[in-house]
Amino acid sequence: MSAYREFIVFLKRRKTFLLGLILFSICLVLGFLISLFAPYDPRRWFTTPIGRPPSLNYLLGTTALGQDVFWLLAWSLRNSFIIGVLGSSVGLIIGIVVGSLAGYRGGLFDRIAMMVTDTFLVIPNIMILILIASVLKGQLSIPLLGILIGLLTWSMPIRNVRSMILSLREREFTQIALFSNMSTISILFKEYLPHIFPWVSSAFINRMIMSMGMEITLAIFGLSSMDEATLGTMLHWALKFQALFTGLWWWILTPIIFSIALFISLYILSIGLSEYLNPRARLR
Amino acid sequence: MIGVKAYIASRLIVFFIVVYIGVTLCFILPRLSPINPVETVLSRYLAYLDYQDPTEVEYLRNTLMEIYGLKGSLLEQYIGFWKRIVVGDFGPSLILFPTPVSKLIGDSIPWTVGLLSTCTLFSWLTTNIIGGFAGYFSNRRWAKAFSVFAITVHPIPYYIMALVLVFLFSYLIPIFPMGGGISMGVKLSLSFEVIVDILYHSILPALSLIIVSYGGEFITMRALTINTKTEDYVQFAESLGIPKRRIVLKYVIRNCLLPRVTGLAISLGGIFTGALAMEVIFTYPGLGMLLYNAVLNGDYNLIMGICIYSILGIAFAALLLDLLYPLVDPRIRYR
């Protein structure tokens, strides 16, 4: 109960955090609850009249392809969200496992891992993703895309986790754990993971932003799962059919506004979470 | 001097590993695909022919295999791939058939690199100063206003910011062109009007790059400065009564520059790819637009060429920054 009350106090003091939470909840509810009530598959073309402005029948208008923007948005938020969560968790899991092993073990494994990591830090991973996606054009499903993004973005987490583990290794409790015959795995998971948890939670959110952003980048080049509804593909089709020139501003403005809201709210949440989980920063 | 030499040697090794792994990935990935580019092109050609002579088709297939470097065993192909990279020849493009890929890329690189390097350098330099002052005087009202703005724009990707700017300044208040790098029908030359025209078209793309990168750069610089200003030497300088402005410029910002140079080297890749997507939105005639057209037409050779050039370019830029590092950090020189 006290933890709950503490959180409420924190919310009252940080109004921006509350704002982020509200914006984020709206996106979440739209994506996972309201999207369930779609009367028809919003991806299909020519199910509604073409290019209608927002009205009571079509809350956010319709596209030049005869899709209802509102339902399309709900589905897009859900799919972008899935990509974000998958991309972020896959990248982070690789980062935590390899980074902590490299930092804890040291030696040759550490040196090789760091060399590879430094290399992939420089190589623009979107270029690799573009190459893969153009090879598999049209065959990427939403979960596959998320996992693929995660598989390409582990270099930063490895670096961060490694440096944290390096400093934790020098602390006294590592010695105690070693003397009490704990295995490497249980030291890493039982002793170190709680220490890096504040970082993990805010990094998770930041990497979600990055993964969703990568999907949008891919979609702008026409390389995402183009038949699915995501924030990126919504933007792509709106751009391709020149929604602004033809005056269908609601078509292009909806994904813009919602991706900005989603990105900013997630960022606010990540700052707020790291402050909340790190009591020293909270006192400041 | 030994310190510098060892440092440069280690950086060069990393550079060559980056180039090696990058190029090898670009070689392997397309070959894992079930789609054969030669058959795609071939079927495109054969669609125009009424009568198809089998020997001629076979001859055409062989020639195409040779052009795209798909002849021989995998090892031979790999060696040939490296030879092509050293010479800078990636074969012809598919859309504009006889035009070599390297010429298309060469034509669009100046647009991308010109815009990107100017904007990145500008925002990196100015945020060092603004962020430094805002971190040092972190309780002032203007510093807080800057922070709020930075936190708001930081998570927005370049291309979303680009869309916002297009909507505001080309659609609602049409003072800037919707896209393009130069007005229709204007020929590229070094006359005054043409340069003004190019600059006019690059204002919105530049703004979207600067605003977004300002966010991230400001946040890191401010955090660095806040950490640095509690250091003993800053306190000492303050108690000596050195003017605040001098302390910030000469003591605080200078010491924060080291992680900033490394940070810039790491973020180059992200800035670059973000800027490519931004170009598509402005139909700015750089590498991003070329990539968009290549994807649209399934121009496999062009996509690969762009990927390789980008990886090489970014690796080289990161190497340059790493080599400049000893100039900023004297400790490497005296190690």
Mutation target for A interface from B220, B273, B306: give the one with most A CBs within 10 A: B273
What's the N-to-C CA distance of chain B in angstroms?
8
At B50 the pLDDT is 67
Number of H helices, E strands in chain B: 14, 0
pLDDT tens digit sequence for A238-270:
888 888 878 888 888 999 999 999 999 999 998
Verify whether the Cβ–Cβ distance A217 to B159 is below 8 Å. yes
pLDDT per position as a tens digit, B80-107: 888 888 887 777 777 676 788 888 888 8
d(CA A154, CA A170): 25
Q: How far apart are CA A127 and CA A121, in angstroms?
A: 13
pLDDT band at B35 (very low <50, low <70, confident <90, very high): low
Helix (H/G/I), strand (E/B), else coil: B100: strand
CA proximity to A86, closest of A164, A141, A20, A17: A141
Cβ of A260 and B318 within 8 Å? no
Which pLDDT score, from 0 to 100, does residue A280 have?
57
Residue pointed to by tokens 């040196």: A111
Report DSSP letters for B24-49, one per residue.
HHHHHHHHTSS--HHHHHHHHHHTT-
- Report yes or no: B117 and B205 within 8 Å, Cβ to Cβ: no
* Full DSSP string of B223-288: HHHHHHTTSHHHHHHHHHT--HHHIIIIIIIHHHHHHHHHHHHHHHHHHHHHHHHHHHHHT-TTHH
User: How much is the pLDDT for A141?
Assistant: 87
Q: Work out the minimum CA distance from A169 to partner chain B, whole angstroms.
A: 24
Chain position carrying tokens 């690799």: A128
CB contact under 8 A, A123 and B315: yes
Mean per-residue pLDDT over chain A, rounded: 85
Among A54, A50, A43, smallest CA distance to A66 is for A50
Spatial distance between the Cα atoms of B124 and A74, rounded to a whole number of angstroms: 38
CA–CA distances in Å: residue A100 to residues A92, A107, A149, A159, A172: 12, 13, 21, 9, 18
Residue B192 neighbours by CB distance under 10 Å: 8
Which pLDDT band holds residue A284 (cuts at 50, 70, 90)? very low
CA separation, residue B283 to residues A248, B156, B193 (Å): 19, 20, 21
CATH of the domain spanning B109-297, picked from 1.10.3720.10, 1.10.287.3510, 1.10.1380.10, 3.30.70.270: 1.10.3720.10
3 state SS of A68: strand
Q: Do A124 and B273 touch (CB under 8 A)?
A: yes
> Could you give the percent of chain A with pLDDT greater than 70?
96
Choice among A275-279, B219-223, B303-307 with the minimum mean pLDDT = A275-279
Tokens 């420089």: give the residue.
A122
Residues of A in contact with B292 (CB under 8 A): 220-222
Task: Give pLDDT, residue A216.
Answer: 92
Task: Note the pLDDT tens digit of each residue in A145-180.
Answer: 999 999 988 988 998 899 888 888 888 888 888 888
pLDDT at residue B1 tops 60: no
Residue B6 Cα to chain centre, angstroms: 28
**Predicted-complex ipTM score:** 0.85
The reply to whether residue A235 touches residue B307, judged by beta carbons under 8 angstroms, is no
pLDDT, one tens digit per residue, over A199-234 is 898 899 999 999 999 999 999 988 888 788 899 999
Q: What is the pLDDT of residue A82?
A: 94
| Residue labelled with tokens 């990497």 | A207
| Stretch (H or E) spanning A156 | helix A155-169
Q: Domain coordinates of chain B in residue numbers?
A: 109-297
Higher-confidence position of A272 and A48: A272
Residue A277, judged by CB atoms within 10 A of its CB (0-12, 13-18, 19+), counts as middle
* Helix, strand, or coil (residue A137): coil
Task: List CB contacts (< 8 A) between B295 and chain A.
Answer: 130, 134, 221-223
Residue B184, classed as helix, strand or coil, is coil
Structure tokens at A249: 């501003």
A215 half-sphere exposure, CB direction, 13 A CA radius: 39
Per-residue pLDDT tens digits for B178-199? 777 777 767 777 778 888 888 8
What residues pair up with A62 in beta bridges, in sequence order?
A: A68
Of A127, A132, A271, the CB nearest to B310: A127
CB neighbours of residue B206 within 10 Å: 17
Task: Please tell me the distance from the alpha carbon of residue A90 to that of residue A94, in angstroms, as a whole number.
Answer: 6
Residue listed under structure tokens 């640095």: B228
Mark yes or no for CB contact A119/B157 under 8 Å: no
Angle, vertex CA B219, rays to CA B316 and CA B142, nearest 5: 135
Res. B210 pLDDT band, cuts 50 70 90: very high
**Contact (CB, 8 A) for B23 and B308:** yes
List Cα–Cα distances, B288 to B121, B162, B284, in angstroms.
20, 14, 8
Chains A, B: CB pairs < 8 Å: 128
Residue type, B294: A
Share of chain B above pLDDT 70, in %: 94
Say if residues B257 and B292 touch (Cβ distance below 8 Å): no
Phi and psi of B258, rounded to 5°? Answer: -60, -60
Reading the block at residue B251, the tokens are: 């003591």
